[in-house]
Chains A and B, each alone.
Chain A
Amino acid sequence: MNIEVPDWSTTELDVMRVGLGFVVIRMFSGIQTFRPSGEAPFPVGIARLLDLRWAASRYAVRWMQYGAYAAALCYAAGLVVPFALLFLAAAALVEVSFRSSYGAVNHGQHLLAVVLVAQAAAMALWNAAAQWDWNLSHVLADSQQATAVWWAIQAIVCVYFTSGLSKLLNTDAHWIRRSPALLLSAYGRIDTDEMVAKGGWQTSRRSDALISWLFDRATLAQAVFAAGLFVELAAPIGLLGKIALTGIGIALIALHKGNRVLLGLPFPEFQWLVFIYLVNLPQFLR
């Protein structure tokens, strides 16, 4: 079985570009929700090397937001794409590092940062190879944008596989056996949902019954969580071709839907990015 970089039509690539622009705007429109000040108690990533306290100021937030909106629109429109991507990758890195450094780890936005960095790196390498005639035909696709998409897909698949592998490594491979304990955090989430203004509470009460039912059936709970783990571990199969990618994409979205019901974690950014790059609906409209 041979693997080749998939062949995407111009329409597919355009839809992916517009889709990513939408996800970026969605992320940056909500970045003010957690803005602590003072010294970062848990510096991560670039915050270990650079002082990111400037990112707490309203002025910096506004500048980052408007810059991201402009860059996302340029990117979606196909204008100055490499520069737009560089700005977005840098802004996402700063934002996610800043928030994580104050304890608000958000892996949903983390994935977006990974995708943006992968795309920026792909564009930079593709342009360098074109400029200096490097022969990187196995790593790079025919066009700059197809290369960026291929790298983004590999990055997304890697994130899921890493997550699955972490579960095995951190439990000496006993994760499925221990997984019913995850239902405990679902009870905590129901408490949290009860205090939102409206809506979420009723949904939580409905899933409360399912969680209690599963809690009394450990083997069934293990089987449910095992299905999720196997979807994560099987994610690399998607790299075999476009149809495999679509299948894995649908399975991953189903995994997130299940997580929403059982653990209260929707991870919308993950679902959007999987839908855009892995499911890739426009391929069926040709």
Chain B
Amino acid sequence: MSSIDAVTLAAAVGGSCAAALAGWAAPDRRTSHDQRVSRRRRGAVMTIVVAGAAAASVTAPVVSVFWALLALNFTLGRRENVPFSTYPMFSNPDTTAWSLRFEDPNGQAVKIGKIGLAPHIVRKRFATELRTARRRGNGDESAARQVAAEVLATLIEEHRPPGGPLAASPITIVLVEYILESGRLRTVKTPIIETSPR
């Protein structure tokens, strides 16, 4: 029985690595028609992956947990049902990225870490608030950004120290977008809101 386990693993590794190499070699087109076709193709491939993993979990008993979890990840994990996930982080490289900057009146970055706010947590909070605002809003992106930034402004004022250079200085929340255009980087900075001590 245990040689079957090795065969299933070899097939999984060999097949997926071959697909990755083939995809690297083939031209990459991203038209809307291609995307519709690719959605259908993706669904079919995912079905094959789930069915194959479920079958392997029965036929390859020594590594059955690996196969069962793989099948569950691509069925239950598609909607992030902890502990099942497809781990989609960085799985679809986008041609845009963004970050938030907190700037003083001179345009210098404010070290919000010094007032007890972790920048990456604040970024996640903004993303969460932005998604919520978009869902509740009427499609006005700048209004949604304003709503999300107001939450962060409140957070900053709650953490503002009573003394020192950050006590009275206005802080501007700036959205920075990085866009990949024809292999070149373009940066767009959009100030969203300015907050002062209340």
Interface residues of chain A, those whose CB is within 8 Å of chain B, are: 1-5, 33-34, 36, 41-42, 44-46, 48, 93, 96-97, 100, 102-105, 107, 110, 113-114, 117-118, 122, 138-139, 150-151, 154-155, 157-159, 161-182, 184-185, 187-189, 191-198, 215, 218, 222, 226, 229-230, 233-234, 236-237, 239-240, 263
Min Cβ gap B158→A in Å is 14
Min Cβ gap B20→A in Å is 6
| B109–A194 touching, CB < 8 Å | yes
Known: A104-B121, A158-B69, A162-B70. A179 touches B93 (CB 8 A): yes
| B83–A93 touching, CB < 8 Å | yes
Please indicate the chain A residues that have their CB under 8 angstroms from the CB of B127 in the complex.
103
Min Cβ gap B17→A in Å is 5
Interface residues of chain B, those whose CB is within 8 Å of chain A, are: 1-3, 5-6, 9, 12-13, 16-17, 19-20, 22-24, 26, 28, 38, 41-42, 45-46, 49, 61-66, 69-70, 73-74, 77, 79-102, 109-114, 118-121, 123-125, 127-128, 131-132, 135, 176, 178-180, 183, 185, 187
Please indicate the chain A residues that have their CB under 8 angstroms from the CB of B101 in the complex.
191, 194-195
| A181–B124 touching, CB < 8 Å | no
Q: Which of A93, A97, A162 contacts B86 (CB 8 A)?
A: A162
Q: Which of A170, A173, A189, A237 contacts B88 (CB 8 A)?
A: A170
Known: A103-B124, A181-B180. A166 touches B109 (CB 8 A): no
- The distance in angstroms between the C-alpha atoms of A44 and B62, with both chains bound, is 31
- For this complex, 26 residue pairs linking A to B, each with C-beta atoms less than 8 Å apart, are A1-B6, A2-B3, A3-B2, A36-B125, A45-B80, A96-B82, A104-B121, A104-B128, A151-B65, A154-B65, A157-B66, A158-B69, A162-B69, A163-B86, A164-B16, A165-B16, A165-B74, A169-B86, A170-B92, A172-B38, A173-B19, A173-B20, A176-B23, A234-B17, A239-B66, A240-B9
- The distance in angstroms between the C-alpha atoms of A135 and B70, with both chains bound, is 24
Min Cβ gap B98→A in Å is 6
| A236–B61 touching, CB < 8 Å | no
Q: Which of A3, A110, A218 contacts B85 (CB 8 A)?
A: A110
- The distance in angstroms between the C-alpha atoms of A284 and B117, with both chains bound, is 43
Min Cβ gap B52→A in Å is 11
| A188–B176 touching, CB < 8 Å | yes
Please indicate the chain B residues that have their CB under 8 angstroms from the CB of A192 in the complex.
99-100, 119-120, 123
Known: A3-B5, A233-B13. A181 touches B111 (CB 8 A): no
Q: Which 9 residue pairs are nearest across A and B when measured between Cβ atoms? A: A173-B23, A103-B128, A188-B99, A138-B61, A197-B113, A184-B97, A163-B87, A45-B82, A181-B93
Known: A2-B3, A173-B22, A240-B9. A155 touches B65 (CB 8 A): yes
Please indicate the chain B residues that have their CB under 8 angstroms from the CB of A239 in the complex.
5, 9, 63, 66
Please indicate the chain A residues that have their CB under 8 angstroms from the CB of B77 in the complex.
162
Please indicate the chain A residues that have their CB under 8 angstroms from the CB of B95 in the complex.
181, 184
- The distance in angstroms between the C-alpha atoms of A110 and B28, with both chains bound, is 32
Please indicate the chain B residues that have their CB under 8 angstroms from the CB of A42 in the complex.
128, 131
Please indicate the chain B residues that have their CB under 8 angstroms from the CB of A45 in the complex.
80-84
Min Cβ gap A199→B in Å is 9
Please indicate the chain B residues that have their CB under 8 angstroms from the CB of A197 in the complex.
111, 113-114
Known: A110-B82, A167-B90. A172 touches B42 (CB 8 A): yes
| A191–B99 touching, CB < 8 Å | yes
Please indicate the chain A residues that have their CB under 8 angstroms from the CB of B24 in the complex.
174, 176-177, 222, 226
| B80–A105 touching, CB < 8 Å | yes
- The distance in angstroms between the C-alpha atoms of A117 and B85, with both chains bound, is 14
Please indicate the chain B residues that have their CB under 8 angstroms from the CB of A222 in the complex.
24
| A188–B92 touching, CB < 8 Å | no
Closest residue on chain A to residue B90 by CB atoms: A182
Please indicate the chain A residues that have their CB under 8 angstroms from the CB of B120 in the complex.
192
- The distance in angstroms between the C-alpha atoms of A240 and B8, with both chains bound, is 11
Please indicate the chain A residues that have their CB under 8 angstroms from the CB of B114 in the complex.
197
| A236–B13 touching, CB < 8 Å | yes
Min Cβ gap A99→B in Å is 9
